[in-house]
Structure 1
Amino acid sequence: MDESVQKIGIVGSGSWATAMIKMFEDNARGKDILWWVRKEEDLAYIKSYGHNPNYLSAVKVSVKPDNLFLDAKSVIQQSDIVVLNTPSAYLKQALKDVKSDDFANKIVVSAIKGIIPHDNLIVGDYLTKTYQIPLQNIVVIGGPCHAEEVSSEKLSYLTLAGKDDNTVERVATFIRGRYINTVLSDDIFGVEYGAVLKNIYALAAGVCHGLGLGDNFIAVLISNAIQEMETCLSAIDPETDRDINASAYLGDLLVTAYSQFSRNRTFGHMIGKGYTVQSAQLEMNMVAEGYYASACIQNIVQRYQLDMPICHMVYEILYHRQPANAEVKKLVAKLT
Structure 2
Amino acid sequence: MEYKIGSEARCAVIGHGSWATALVKQLTLGGQRVGWYVRNEEVLESLRTAGRNPRYLNDTEFDRDHIAPSDDLDAVVRDAEVIILATPSAYLKEFLAPLRTPLHDKFIVSAIKGIVPGDYQTVVEYIHDRYGLSYKQIGLISGPSHAEEVSRGKLSYLTVVCTDEENARMLGKRLMSESLALSYSTDLYGIEYAAILKNIYAISVGMAVGLGYGDNFLAVLIANCARELTRFLEESYPAPRDTQVSAYLGDLLVTCYSTYSRNRRLGLLIGHGCTVRSALNEMTMVAEGYFAADCIRHINFRHRIEMPIAETVYRVLYEGASARRSMKELTTKLI
Asked if TM exceeds 0.5, the reply is: yes
Residue 45 of structure 2 is aligned to residue 44 of structure 1 = yes
2:320 match? 321
Q: Given residue 129 of structure 2, which amino acid in structure 1 is its aligned partner?
A: K
Q: Which residue of 2 aligns with 1:97?
A: 98
SS in 1 for 2:224: helix
Closer/same/farther in 2, CA of residues 200 and 50 from structure 1, 3 Å limit = same
Q: Output aligned runs, 1:1-336, within 5 Å.
A: 4-26=7-29, 28-29=30-31, 31-64=32-65, 67-99=68-100, 102-238=102-238, 240-336=239-335
Letter in 2 for 1:125: E
Q: Give the Cα–Cα distance (whole angstroms) in 1 for the partners of residues 72 and 322 of structure 2.
A: 42
1:79-112 CA-partner distances (Å, limit 9, x unpaired): 111100000000000000224x521221111000
Contact 1:156 1:181 (8 Å CA) reproduced: yes
> Residue 118 of structure 1 aligns to which amino acid in structure 2?
G
Query: For 2:129 and 2:6, how far apart are their aligned partners in 1?
Result: 30
Q: Could you tell me whether the CA contact under 8 Å between 2:36 and 2:76 is conserved in 1?
A: yes
| Inter-partner Cα distance in structure 1 for 2:202 and 2:147 | 16
Q: Report how far residue 61 of structure 1 moved.
A: 1.6
Tell me the amino acid that sits aligned with residue 261 of structure 1: Y
2: distance between equivalents of 1:179 and 1:45?
A: 26
The CA distance in 1 between the partners of 2:39 and 2:208, in whole Å, is: 35
d(CA) in 1 for partners of 2:225, 2:27: 33
Q: 1:66 to 1:147 in 2, by over 3 A?
A: closer
1:204-263 CA distance string (max 9 Å, x none): 10011011111111110000001000111112211x111110111110000000011111
Q: Secondary structure at the match of 2:301?
A: helix
Deviation of 1:321 (Å): 1.0
Q: 1:40: how far off?
A: 1.1
Q: Output the aligned Cα RMSD.
A: 1.4
Shift of 1:285: 1.1
For the residues of structure 1 that align with 2:80 and 2:64, how far apart are their CA atoms? 14
Query: How far apart are residue 67 of structure 1 and its match?
Result: 1.8
User: Once the 2 structures are TM-superposed, how far is the Cα of residue 164 of structure 1 from its aligned partner?
Assistant: 1.2
Letter in structure 1 aligned against 2:196: V
Indicate conservation of the 8 Å contact 2:28/2:66, yes or no.
no
AA of the residue aligned to 1:206: G
Letter in 2 for 1:189: Y
Residue 60 of structure 1 aligns to a residue whose secondary structure is coil
TM-score (norm 1): 0.95
Q: 1:4 offset after TM fit, Å? A: 4.4
Q: Judge conservation of contact 1:136–1:167 (CA < 8 Å) in 2.
A: no
**Number of matched pairs:** 331
Distance 2:243 2:9 in 1: 36
Q: Which runs of 5+ in 2 are unaligned?
A: none
- TM normalised by structure 2 equals 0.96
| Alpha-carbon shift at residue 330 of structure 1 (Å) | 0.8
Aligned-pair identity (%): 42
Deviation at 1:71, TM superposition (A): 3.2
Q: Which amino acid aligns with 1:182?
A: L
Q: 1:3 to 1:131 in 2, by over 3 A?
A: closer
Does the aligned pair in 2 maintain the 1:33–1:63 contact within 8 Å? no
CA distance in 2 between partners of 1:11 and 1:136 (Å): 20
Unaligned 5+ runs, structure 1: none
Q: Is this contact kept in 2: 1:77–1:103, CA < 8 A?
A: no
Query: Matched residues in 1 for 2:200 and 2:63: separation?
Result: 35
- 1:176, 1:182 within 8 Å by CA — same for their partners in 2? yes
CA drift of 1:3 comes to 6.2
- The superposition leaves residues 116-164 of structure 1 with CA deviations (integer Å, 9 ceiling, x where unpaired) of 0010101111001000111111111111111011011011110111111
SS in structure 2 at match of 1:67:
strand
Residues 198 and 251, structure 2, Cα contact 8 Å, conserved in 1: yes
Alpha-carbon distance in structure 2 between the residues aligned to 1:137 and 1:173? 17
Taking the aligned partners of 2:188 and 2:278, their CA distance within structure 1 comes to 35
- Provide the C-alpha distance between the structure 2 equivalents of 1:317 and 1:134, rounded to a whole number of angstroms: 37
Moved more, 166-175 or 246-255: 166-175
Does the residue aligned with 1:243 lie in a helix, a strand or coil? coil
Distance 1:66 1:252 in 2: 29
Distance 1:329 1:147, change over 3 A: same
